Structure 1
Amino acid sequence: MKEKNWYAIYTKPRWEKKVSKLLTDRNVVTYCPLNRVKRKWSDRIKTVLVPLLPSYLFVYINTAERQTIRETPGVINFVYIEGRPAIVKDYEVVRIQRFLNEFENVELTAFHPRKNQRVMINQGLLVEEEGRVIDLRNNKVEVAIESLNYSLVALFDKSKLINH
């Protein structure tokens, strides 16, 4: 049996829970991160579960199961990075699960690197290396990685960096 990984899939708007149910019925392991949010109606306040990532869902599959996912009603496609379906690391899914179990009303904010900001690389050969943003160009970020009193300067896609 081939190795399974978590993949992110893109769904029709407001279909996250429906797609999760359809895939679960097909014995596919899914994770739809649900945020507990307090909503106010005229007569009461109620806690409701809303998808943390609108139109996104995670599936735990092997490569042979990709076509089954694509054929599921409500699924638009996999999320792609560099021309391939994006693999989400197990620890990232666990981190999201733990975070949502502990907190309510979670808000997502986009990461926008700034000059001189400290960042950590989260993909590729330099994974977990720290650096400092030198310059920003469109979707690319120039990062200096200082070690042994030398600066190794590399250009990274913004998606490969996290705030540090």
Structure 2
Amino acid sequence: MDSSQRIYWTAFYTKPRNEKKAAERLTSKGFEVYCPTRTVLKQWSDRKKKVTEPVFTSYIFAKVDETSRLEILKDTSIVSNVRWLGKPAIIQEKEITEIKSFLEDFPRSELAHGDFQAGNKVQIDSGALSGQSGVIRRTQGNKAFLIIASLGLELYAEISLNHLKKVG
């Protein structure tokens, strides 16, 4: 097999907020494209809504040979091919499979951010402050601003709601 006909996964950089549209359009043209997504709860001033958003902002993956890679680059939503050492980046099949498996095993849609409110006592379950307890001062999007009383000092920390669990 000639090297230009070698089939491999590679990443493409898309225009902002065009990942899903580009993936759908390229899939409909017969390309094998993967745009990993997750479902998240978004907060607007008047409502909350679950939305599907790309895991990797402005990137999609496609299984290509040289001919199909060049065709994908012609799509209006594609900015460029991600390159490594001057050549198109090659992503191992195993890495794509691991991303798919991880997103199936840990779907983001199960996170319930709406349960946290000012005054809730919480414990941080990961990161540099893992194990610390605090009180939510306020929430904004998927972040909580905590008061952590430790060693007689009040430390204010901004923590992702993904890293908190309610206590007491």
Percent of residue pairs bearing the same amino acid type:
37
1:78 aligned onto 2:62:
no
Please say if residues 70 and 76 of structure 1, whose CA atoms lie closer than 8 Å, have aligned partners that are also in contact: yes
Task: Within 5 Å, give how 1:52-71 maps onto structure 2.
Answer: 52-71=55-74
Q: Which letter maps to 1:32?
A: C
| Larger displacement relative to structure 2 (28-37 or 97-106) | 97-106
Q: Which amino acid aligns with 1:78?
A: N
TM-score computed with the length of structure 2 as normaliser: 0.58
CA distance in 2, matches of 1:84, 1:101: 31
Q: Which one has the largest radius of gyration?
A: 2
The CA deviation string for residues 64-100 of structure 1, in whole angstroms up to 9 with x for no partner, is: 2121011111101100000000011001011111111
Which amino acid in structure 2 is aligned with residue 62 of structure 1? D
Task: List per-residue Cα deviations over 1:25-78 (Å, max 9, x = no partner).
Answer: 210010001022122345654322100111000001111212101111110110
Identify which of 33, 36, 42 aligns with 1:33: 36
2:99 to 90, 96, 116: 96
Mind listing any 5+ residue stretches in structure 1 that lack a counterpart?
107-164
- Residue 17 (structure 2) pairs with residue 14 (structure 1): yes
Normalized per residue, the structure richer in helix is: 2
> What letter matches 1:46 in structure 2?
K
Which stretches in structure 2 are left out of the alignment for 5+ residues? Answer: 110-168
Q: Which amino acid aligns with 2:6?
A: E
